[in-house]
Amino acid sequence: MSAQYKNEKSIIQKLDLDGYVKQFKSFLARDKPLAMMGDINQHYRYISALSSVQFPLPAVVPNLDQELARIKKQAVLSLDEIYAFVQMFSYFNTLSAVGFTEPLRSWIQGIEIPEEIVDIIAYFTEEGDINPERDPELYKLERAIKQNKVEIKDTLYRLAHSSKLRDYLVDTQVHFNGGEETLLVRGGFNNALKATVVARSPGGFFYILPQSISHLKEKESVLLSNKEEIIYRYCKEISATFFKWNLFLAYINKEYDRFDHYQARVSFARAKEYEFILPSKHKRIKLENFAHPALENPVPISMDFNKQIMLVTGVNAGGKTMLLKSMLSAVYMSKYLLPFKCDAERTEVGHYKSIEAVIDDPQSVKNDISTFAGRMQEFAKLFSKEDAIVGVDEIELGTDSDEAASLFRVMLDELRKKGISFIVTTHHKRLASLMAADDEVELIAALYDEERRLPTYTFLQGSIGKSYAFETAQRYGVPESIVQKAKIVYGEDKDNLNELIEKSTSLEREMRMKMAKVDEDLALVEKKKLKLEEEEFKLQEQHRKAMATLENRYNAATKKAREALKVKESTEGRRLLNVAHQRKDLKQKEVAKQDEIPLKEGDKVKYRSHKGELLSLRGKDATIIVDGLKMRVPLSQLKRRGDEPKIKLKPKAREPKVHVSVEKSGASVSIKLLGLYADEAIDRVDKFLSDALVNGLHEVQIIHGTGGGVLSKLVGEYLKTHPKISKFYRLPGNLGITVVEL
């Protein structure tokens, strides 16, 4: 185990991230270190792109480093080992049909699987066995093995229900023992049946194998041996092909791990509703509504640390240690692009080369070391570090607080010159008073609720916190008389100082409460604004309906007028009717000009009785998505929905690219429908099949992808009704391809 791995494991434990990391690793297709090699900014771009699409989850595949090493030595892999590689090949084939955006699209499309490897994929079933349909000899063996098993089962069934064995049977079931089908009988069975005892049951009964099926068992053994020979032949041939392409296998194995890193993070973030924070170049930790993943019902933390030293003082059991762990945890998770709960838009986490935590009591009888000596050892190691962030819990632990304050003041000054930032907690105010005047020191006070005599687990920046030792002692049952005597011993001057500290924190808390009230009022105003917008939309709808009613009445009246004019022609009547038409048209244009609110991409719209979302505009047409299906409809037939005033814009759908491979005859043997609308897809399939029939093709492929299965379903329904199609079926491996026989 490397020193770096030990340090990472230690940090995870010290920051209480064990459960979090375990949950994250359950989303990985195979276990691996948390760190991703390469440019973190590039990784963040890929993760962001993957977060915007739905994708199939990868199969669980073991680590294949040893298998790759054996391939280089021309070893023969087992069927399971070969199938692990096949699962990776199949997965990248599936990903190529997903509608990724850049930079994922270029990366996935750039992974070209050699034809020899693609042929190997077709040899396997989804269960990881060799497909007997591809080998007549294997097919016959499979049928023979299956038939032999049926004969064994029928023979045992007849014996279990025979009258001569009835008195010796414990039950009439067939029991599997040691991989053999057996009957469970009592002693004396040999008077009625010749059999071999396989094992004894805990109740003293016997599992027997009747001699009447021994020849069937021998036949089964021969058949299975022949099958293993065929399987070995396939393994040998495929292993030889793998040796030829060993560099590609190493490459695909590495890319599978890379995509696994991305998908696990995205899937974990979706499951937990977490956010990703890309580390910034600034040495700053600004958390907004952060929640440590180890806490079930945490009080959200909002903290801005943009200096070199954060000194946290205040109430015992008030959350100082958890604040320290939260700050370091945010740095750790951000460093490895692991998602966590926070307000991402207002959170910023700097990048640090290393993370150190001096949290545990280092005292050890075995190592003959005191608490303070252990702390000195930890600090001595820090002088070899640079660009690090260090958390120190109860910094004066194990020695005189006044002496320790002076020592740590000097050490902290020297270490921060090496670019090291510190988050320090303490119960004592001596160190805080020594460092309070330093511009690079951020003072933080843990707050206490005086009325309820309980810590609030909230913090106040720019202040020194009172420890509330006397209040805590009284809260946990120490007699009040003892506490009062302790206060006298403590001294009036120090008590007055604590009073001043307490008053300043109380005033700050009061200001915070007022600010929170203002935020609540603003939220209420925003809510009322949204309600007014909804009411405005309803009034507009009522207005449109009223206008439609008036137009219907107008049309009915003018129709009657025209009928009357047919009976008795009148020049003046015709003139007045034309004037009415002109005024109606003018009024409609004025109303449309006043009430028209142009639709934008991303608006929620209604088309006839369907609810959808506007993806793009093109002239007088619009592209919408309804229940996962894209449709191109006239813009004039769309209405804005009033359930949500605004939504986030989605990127424009990429232009559909149709690639049809063409043979010399001019006919196409395959067609891609990826990205097409439903009506476009069916039109292209119809023309494609017509061309194939004219040119005498007998088998073609339709590539529709996996996705949501909409195109696959439409194509299947169309093919069922086509008179010239004799057969069609899906290729195994979930490749999103339908084969059509004409």
Average pLDDT per 10 consecutive residues for the chain, totaling 742 residues = 66 93 95 92 95 93 95 94 95 92 93 93 91 89 91 88 86 85 88 88 89 87 93 95 95 96 96 95 92 89 90 76 92 96 94 88 51 79 89 76 78 89 83 77 77 70 61 64 69 53 56 78 87 86 82 73 61 59 60 64 82 86 83 84 52 46 58 81 83 80 77 84 82 79 84
What is the helix (H) or strand (E) element at residue 324, kind and residue range?
Answer: helix 320-335
CA gap 382, 99 in Å, rounded: 49
Q: Where are the alpha helices (DSSP H) in 126-245?
A: 136-160, 214-244
Q: What is the SS3 assignment for 413?
A: helix
CB 432 within 8 A of CB 443: yes
- Nearest CA to 605 out of 639, 642, 573 is that of 639
Contact 399, 365 (CB under 8 A): no
Q: In what order do the strands lie in the sheet with 670-672?
A: 670-672, 699-703, 737-741, 727-730
| CA 336/CA 608 separation, integer angstroms | 48
Where is 706: in which H helix or E strand?
A: none
Residue the block writes with tokens 């409809």: 633
The phi, psi pair for 391, rounded to 5°, reads -110, 130
C-alpha dist (Å) from residue 58 to 1, 62, 353 = 28, 12, 32
> Rounded distance, CA 725 to CA 466, Å?
84
What pLDDT, on a 0 to 100 scale, did the predictor assign at position 256? 96
- C-alpha 287/C-alpha 208 separation (Å) is 70
What are 278's two structure tokens?
A: 């890309």
Q: What is the pLDDT of residue 254?
A: 96
Spatial contact of 351 and 281, defined as CB atoms under 8 Å apart: yes
CB atoms within 10 A of CB 177: 16
Q: How far apart are CA 455 and CA 448, in angstroms?
A: 4
User: C-alpha angle 237/238/244, rounded to 5°?
Assistant: 100
Q: What is the distance between the alpha carbons of residues 674 and 681, in angstroms, rounded to a whole number?
A: 9
Tokens of 301: 């933390």
Question: What whole-number distance in Å separates Cα of residue 283 and Cα of residue 658?
Answer: 49
**Measured in whole angstroms, how far is the alpha carbon of residue 370 from the centre of its chain?**
46
Burial of 655 (0-12, 13-18, 19+ CB in 10 A): exposed
For 528, list phi and psi in degrees, rounded to 5. Answer: -65, -40
Q: Would you give the distance in Å from CA 293 to the centre of its chain?
A: 16
Q: How far is CA 285 from the centre of its chain?
A: 25
Cis peptide before 103 (omega within 30 of 0): yes
What pLDDT is recorded for position 688?
Answer: 85
Asked if 330 and 339 count as a contact pair (C-beta separation under 8 A), the reply is: no
Three-state SS for 611-674 is EEEEEEEECCEEEEEECCEEEEEEHHHEEECCCCCCCCCCCCCCCCCCCCCECCCCCECEEECC
Closest CA to 355 of 329, 381, 380, 319: 329
As a whole number of angstroms, the distance between CA 528 and CA 553 comes to 37
Contact of 449 with 440, CB cutoff 8 Å: no
State phi, psi for 417 to the nearest 5 degrees: -65, -20
Angle between helices 79-95 and 65-72 (to 10 degrees): 110
Expressed in angstroms, the distance from the first to the final Cα of the chain is 61
Query: Which pLDDT tens digit goes with each residue over 484-493?
Result: 777 666 665 5
Q: Can you tell me the distance from the alpha carbon of 99 to that of 710, in angstroms, rounded to the nearest whole number?
A: 14
Helices and strands of the chain, counted as H and E runs: 20, 22
Q: Which residues contact 741 (CB under 8 A, 6 or more apart)?
A: 698, 699, 725, 726, 727, 728
The residue length of the chain stands at 742
Q: How far, in whole angstroms, is CA 568 from its chain's centroid?
A: 77
pLDDT value for 386: 87
Cα–Cα distance measured from residue 647 to residue 600, given in angstroms and rounded to the nearest whole number: 10
Q: Which two tokens stand for residue 280?
A: 């910034």
CA–CA separation, 372 and 155 (whole Å): 80
- Residue 116: phi and psi, rounded to 5, are -60, -35
pTM: 0.60
**Token pair for 506:** 């109380």
- Residue 100, exposed/middle/buried by CB under 10 A (0-12, 13-18, 19+)? buried
The four Cα atoms 8, 11, 16, 19 give a dihedral, to 10 degrees, of 0
Ramachandran category for residue 511: left, alpha or beta (phi over 0 → left; psi -120 to 50 → alpha): alpha
